Structure 1
Amino acid sequence: MSSTNPASGLPATSTTKNNAIWVRETRFGRWFLSTQTWYRYVLSQAVIDFKTLLGERVPTQGHILDAGCGQGLAFGLLEQHFQPATITGIDIDAEQVKKAVSAASQLTTPALAVHTNASASNLTAGSFDLILCHQLLHHTSQQQETLQEFYRLLRPGGILLVGESCRSFINSAPVRLLFRHPEMAQKDARGYIDLVRTNGFVFSETDIQTSRPWWSRRCLGMAQKLGIGLNNTEPTEILIVATKPH
């Protein structure tokens, strides 16, 4: 089943890239996030890798929040890999939420799509067992507020899955040309690790995965195949499995 619960009082979106609460993706970017390339090589792989990192900690019949759900493409993956009791998706882009409502209606799992800001959602405190935050933080300057909101929304012992593209990738020429992001919000892998920890979440080194997938490399990895840039090992992607302490 599916329903919507539009939140009122959303903050006005700044038009400046440096201080924007949220920078709306380009038309190309919104299209790309609907492609099989994004779904197969980025989103699906992230969910699979998160499940591997979680191991036996996957919540049984948990209540899952997909923060920054976009079009709801992760809903089916969450249903398949986590067998949750419910799925709630939130996004600040009303146009995308309309598509997420349609995606939610295709599920067997009860699902909800809500138009709201992840940093101030007005959802009930302690109502989620797991939050998926995939490629959201680098889109907002309100990173601290967003993580504090996730902390509020998780029950004690609840799990936060953070997946982010790192500064080296976001600031690359092709990404800067085709996509839009707040400039001052970008961090390297260590920056995201520190950000999550300083907002009260706990995790160990075994709960972190860094990588440089082919799609995030210069010339889609062709430079490395030709022997160029082999010394560049800075991670372009990071996954963190973090827990709200009991």
Structure 2
Amino acid sequence: MKPLSDTYVEETRFGFWFLRSHTWQHHVLRVAINDLRNLFSDPLPAAPVILDAGCGQGKSFQYLQNTFAPKRLIGLDADPLSLTLSREEARRQDINIELIGSDCAELELPDASVDMLFCHQTFHHLVQQDRALAEFYRVLKPGGYLLFAESTEAYIDTWVIRWLFRHPMHVQKSAAQYLEMIRDQGFLFDAQNVSYPYLWWSRSKDFGLLERLGLRRVKPVGEREETLVNVVARKPLNPAGASSLAMGPTP
């Protein structure tokens, strides 16, 4: 089936299989959503409208449902086959889902219509990242939250990932560059709203084998090149006056 975006970078067969695997669900998705939940500075919105931007095969739906109890859950993806599998996944989990076939750079949603936007391991697949982030900002309500979880260039540009998966390499960014991009769009966040997970599967070269064997020191944040970055960023309550609502120094 033809993708619903002219800039869509089709995944490899291995990649498509991996996105339905137990490893993906348990060690990647579940861990990321739990971490993002812990990055909130304020109480969670009650019965939010949640958009899963780049929902893939819908494996995130059960975790979003259980963690945030949305009154409305929307999944969006540019791959028709993934949307079909998302629909089947939602049916298996008995979750009410609205699915939209669209590119993240052109969200078919009204302005200020979403309380929380979940973007997990999607952004590094997008060619039009600036437009997508502007769309995320547009559809979020004032005070709404962007839940952003990404692999960085330091991970995507390793031989094993380049061999097994397919990505637009010219748009990959470091953790600092992703945070700067989000900040420049107008989102607000503090250091306490950011984490740099150092998970075994994200460690370049040897998946952390030498560290587990005690043959290499585990470098702390600040000494290593980050392979993952998670951030909960908020759209200002008064977007026009965002500069006056800074939440303090950002990482």
Gaps of at least 5 residues in structure 2 are 238-251
Q: Which of 154, 164, 185 in structure 1 is aligned with 2:150? A: 164
Distance in 2, Cα, partners of 1:105 & 1:174: 34
- Pair 1:114 & 2:100 matched: yes
Partner of 1:86: 72
Q: What is the 5 A alignment of 1:223-242?
A: 223-226=210-213, 227-228=215-216, 233-242=224-233
Partner of 1:25: 11
SS, match of residue 164 in structure 1 = strand
Displacement of 1:118 after TM fit?
1.0
- Pair 1:244 & 2:211 matched: no
Displacement of 1:241 after TM fit?
0.4
Q: How many residues of Structure 1 are paired with residues of Structure 2 in the alignment?
A: 230
Q: Percent identity?
A: 37
- Amino acid in structure 1 at the alignment position of 2:89: A
Displacement of 1:230 after TM fit?
5.0
Displacement of 1:244 after TM fit?
0.6
Displacement of 1:27 after TM fit?
0.5
Partner of 1:97: 83
Displacement of 1:48 after TM fit?
0.6
Q: Please say if residues 207 and 242 of structure 1, whose CA atoms lie closer than 8 Å, have aligned partners that are also in contact.
A: yes
Displacement of 1:221 after TM fit?
1.2
SS, match of residue 61 in structure 1 = coil
Deviation per CA, 1:150-208: give whole Å up to 9, x if none: 11110100000000001111001100100010011111110110011111111111110
Partner of 1:220: 207
SS, match of residue 8 in structure 2 = coil
Q: Please say if residues 4 and 80 of structure 2, whose CA atoms lie closer than 8 Å, have aligned partners that are also in contact.
A: no
Partner of 2:243: none
Q: Please say if residues 91 and 115 of structure 1, whose CA atoms lie closer than 8 Å, have aligned partners that are also in contact.
A: yes
Displacement of 1:220 after TM fit?
1.9
Partner of 2:247: none
Distance in 2, Cα, partners of 1:137 & 1:216: 16
- Amino acid in structure 1 at the alignment position of 2:207: L
SS, match of residue 80 in structure 1 = helix
Distance in 2, Cα, partners of 1:230 & 1:156: 40
Partner of 1:180: 166
SS, match of residue 83 in structure 2 = helix
Gaps of at least 5 residues in structure 1 are 1-8, 13-20
Q: What is the 5 A alignment of 1:194-213?
A: 194-213=180-199
Output the TM-score relative to the length of structure 2.
0.87
- Amino acid in structure 2 at the alignment position of 1:233: R
Q: Please say if residues 90 and 97 of structure 2, whose CA atoms lie closer than 8 Å, have aligned partners that are also in contact.
A: yes
SS, match of residue 206 in structure 2 = helix
Distance in 2, Cα, partners of 1:144 & 1:177: 27
Q: Which of 169, 177, 183 in structure 2 is aligned with 1:191? A: 177
- Pair 1:147 & 2:168 matched: no
Q: Please say if residues 50 and 161 of structure 1, whose CA atoms lie closer than 8 Å, have aligned partners that are also in contact.
A: yes
Q: Please say if residues 26 and 180 of structure 1, whose CA atoms lie closer than 8 Å, have aligned partners that are also in contact.
A: yes
Q: Please say if residues 104 and 112 of structure 1, whose CA atoms lie closer than 8 Å, have aligned partners that are also in contact.
A: no
Q: Please say if residues 86 and 109 of structure 1, whose CA atoms lie closer than 8 Å, have aligned partners that are also in contact.
A: no
Change (3 A) 1:61 1:230: closer
